[in-house]
Structure formats: C-alpha cells, structure tokens
Amino acid sequence: MSGTTVICVLDELRRRQRSRHGPRDEACPARRWAGSRARHRHGEPADVLGPGQYPDYYFRVTNSEHLTDLKGKLTRICNKSGIKQRFIHLDEELLAANPDFKDRTLPSLDARVEIASAAVPELAASAAAKAIAEWGRPATDITHLIFSTYSGARAPSADRRLASLLGLSPTVSRTILNLHGCYGGGRSLQLAKELAENNRGARVLVACSEITLIAFYGPEGGCPDNILGQALFGDGAGAVIVGADPVSPVERPLFEMAFASQTTIPETEDAISMQINKGGMEYHISNQVPRLLGCNVERCLVDAFGALGIHNANWNNLFWAIHPGGRAILDHIEGVLGLDDGKLAASRHVLSEFGNMSGTTVIFVLDELRRRLGQAANQEEGQAPEWGVMMAFGPGITIETMVLHAPAAEGN
C-alpha cells in the first residue's frame, strides 16, 4: 500500500470567530456548539476574550480582586503570550450555576464531568461533520475513530457519543486517548497512520476536543501553574480523515504522512503533568519547558529525516506545523533551528487567534498551513515547500515528530 495520506483536515471554532460586541446572528454555529445551552453568548465576555480583558474578567468572576500580585502576574504573562484572543466554553452564566468551580478545594468534579461529557463530543461533532463534508464520502465509510481529549472521565466515552452524533457505522472501530494533553493530536495522527497502512481501505477519523472547564479555578498564592494556564489555554475541536490509496477524484490528499516517531526526553516526567482531583484537573508546567524542547527538537528531526535517507536537510526549505504551546516555545525552536522569520507563521497565527487548545491545536495549525501553502502555490512567484514537519509536545516530556509531504498544494 502506498504512503498514508491525510485526506482532510478541518477545525471548528474558526467560523465562530466574531467581534466581542458583534451583531447577533441566529445562524451562527456558536449557538450550536453547546447544544443544550441555548443562551449561548453573543458578545458575552467568556466567549471571546483578548489578553487585555482576561485578567479583569478572571479576577472579577472568581471574586479575587484583592489578590493584586497574582493579577499583576497574569497581566504580565498575557501581555507576553502572543495570544490575541481565546474561546472559552465556561462563561459567567455557567459559572454562576456552578460557584464551586472557583475553589479548587471544593469537590466539583461531578459537575465538571457532567458538563464536559456532553460538550466535548458535541464540539468534536461540529468539527468532524465539516471534515466529512469536505472529504466527500458518507460518514458510514469511516472504519476507525480515534478521539483525544483531556476531559474524559466516564465510560462509555466521548468517542461512543461522537460516533452516534455523526451516524457512524456500528462496526466502526473506536479508540479513546485520554490525558495525552498537548501531544494528543500528534499521537492520534500517528496511530491513524498505522491503522490506515495496515488495514486495506481503512478511513480513520481523528477527532480532538478540549474544553478548559475541567481545569478552571480561582487564583491562589503559590500556584503559578494555574496563572500560566489561565493565560494560555483555550477551547476548541479539530478533525482529520486519514487513509491510504485515495479514491480519485473524490478524495483530495492534503498531506502525506511520510514518517512518524515519538521521543521521550529523559528525566522530565515532572516537567509537564496533569492530575484529576476532586476540585478539577490540576497541572504543572515547568518554566524550563521551552529550554528542554529547544535542546531536543533538532535530534528528533535529524533522526526522522535520517530514517527517510535524507541527511543535512535545510530546515528553512521545509514547511512547519509546530504545536504552539507558548510563545517562548516557538521562539526557542525558531532559534535553535535557525528558522527564518515567518517559518512558524501558521503556529503563531493559531496561538494568536485561539490560544493553546492542547491536543487540538496542531490540527488547527495543519488547517492554517494548508491554506497558506495553497495561497503560496497559487502565487506565480511563490514556491511552496513540498516537504515539512509536524511536531507536538506534552507530558513526559513527549515529542511527536511527523515528516509530511504536500503532494498537491494547489487549491488546498
């Protein structure tokens, strides 16, 4: 069988983007993404929040205005985050109905799981329905489903609900990945590649859906991780369909996955961690993460290209889809690889417009990248790179590396 192909990449939330005080639009998909919650935000602050607004909003809704030092810290991080706005499911209305979410020491997990169990697959269904429509074949042709989220705490899981929402075949082979954090998207794509290459005719739907509600609580002295997370993380879902041997002319390959690997950086198991507790998910993100990634990505790239028989690759001749975990991570990687300005533009754009949506983010970056590659190919003077790299990072510290080939950048 020939090399695996990502047939379609699509994200959700892009079409929801609008001005904070924009006009009400009854047809806006934002009204649907939380289905059961009809009073879904039009111009309400929890919907689209810029970094300038967020510290005021967060300290007000958590009744923490008196913690001025922490507010100053959140403001400083927001100002340096490279994030212009984020989308957040947990708005003031939902918070008012669940006041315990503000306090990490109170047992609020039941309520969080209840909300997330409905919202996470619904959001994924919005993204997946668009991916399937663009793919052009019936949903019942999907043979495998891989679903990644950090919000899962129930069985049957979100993958089962997503399969029902999409009308997938009862014989679809489902896998759920939980708590992979920001490498969930990369891991799912690599597993999809394995499934597609080893099962003739397989079509694998990859869906990632993340909402920060499971990890929202008020500020506390001595918990800088929470302040960092409040500045970085956003909500979103993305979907990709993966298969080998595309059926022409219906299936339009976007990226071929030429090689994929996973690397664990030794002695870093404490650098990024997540744990579900009675008051929600707590996480730790060491301030060494940008440096640790900066020291290790080049080795992963050299090994990946070496496995394809490519030595001394010029990093500037590639296209790049790097998980934008934070502005400093992109800066470090750009620095160690000597990348030209603009090489990480797709990652920086997604970070700016949506924040860090954990495992979903890399799908948004691929979607942005295909748009940019298509534009470059359509410009006469533009020479779009044919080969590129996707990288995602998460707890472990785990690095997912994938060498991509863009066979038909035109018209993507």
Ligand X SMILES: CC(C)(COP(=O)(O)OP(=O)(O)OC[C@H]1O[C@@H](n2cnc3c(N)ncnc32)[C@H](O)[C@@H]1OP(=O)(O)O)[C@@H](O)C(=O)NCCC(=O)NCCSC(=O)CC(=O)O
* Site for ligand X, rule CB under 6 A: 73, 76-77, 80-81, 181-182, 224-225, 228, 232, 272, 285-287, 289-290, 325-329, 356, 358, 393-395
Least distance between ligand X and beta carbon 43 (Å): 28
Nearer to ligand X, 327 or 343 (CB): 327
Whether omega before 407 lies within 30 degrees of 0, making that bond cis, reads no
Least distance between ligand X and beta carbon 20 (Å): 22
Nearer to ligand X, 7 or 399 (CB): 399
Nearer to ligand X, 114 or 270 (CB): 270
Nearer to ligand X, 132 or 351 (CB): 351
Least distance between ligand X and beta carbon 286 (Å): 6
Least distance between ligand X and beta carbon 334 (Å): 13
Nearer to ligand X, 315 or 393 (CB): 393
- Active-site residue set: 182
Least distance between ligand X and beta carbon 82 (Å): 7
Least distance between ligand X and beta carbon 230 (Å): 10
Nearer to ligand X, 15 or 80 (CB): 80
Q: Which residues are within 8 A (CB) of 301 and not within 5 positions of it... i.e. 6 or more apart?
A: 313, 315, 337, 389, 401
Nearer to ligand X, 220 or 245 (CB): 220
Least distance between ligand X and beta carbon 134 (Å): 27
HEC string of the chain equals CCCEEEEEEEECCHHHCCCCCCCCCCCCHHHCCCCCCCCCCCCCCCCEECCCCHHHHHHHHCCCCCCHHHHHHHHHHHHHCCCCCEECCCCHHHHHHCHHHHCCCCCCHHHHHHHHHHHHHHHHHHHHHHHHHHHCCCHHHCCEEEEEECCCCCCCCHHHHHHHHHCCCCCCEEEEEECCHHHHHHHHHHHHHHHHHHCCCCEEEEEEEECHHHHCCCCCCCCHHHHHHHHHECCEEEEEEEEECCCCCCCCCCEEEEEEEEEECCCCCCCEEEEEECCEEEEEECCCHHHHHHHHHHHHHHHHHHHCCCCCCCHHHCEEEECCCCHHHHHHHHHHHCCCCCCCHHHHHHHHHHCECHHHHHHHHHHHHHHHHHHHHHCCCCCCCCEEEEEEEECCCEEEEEEEECCCCCCC
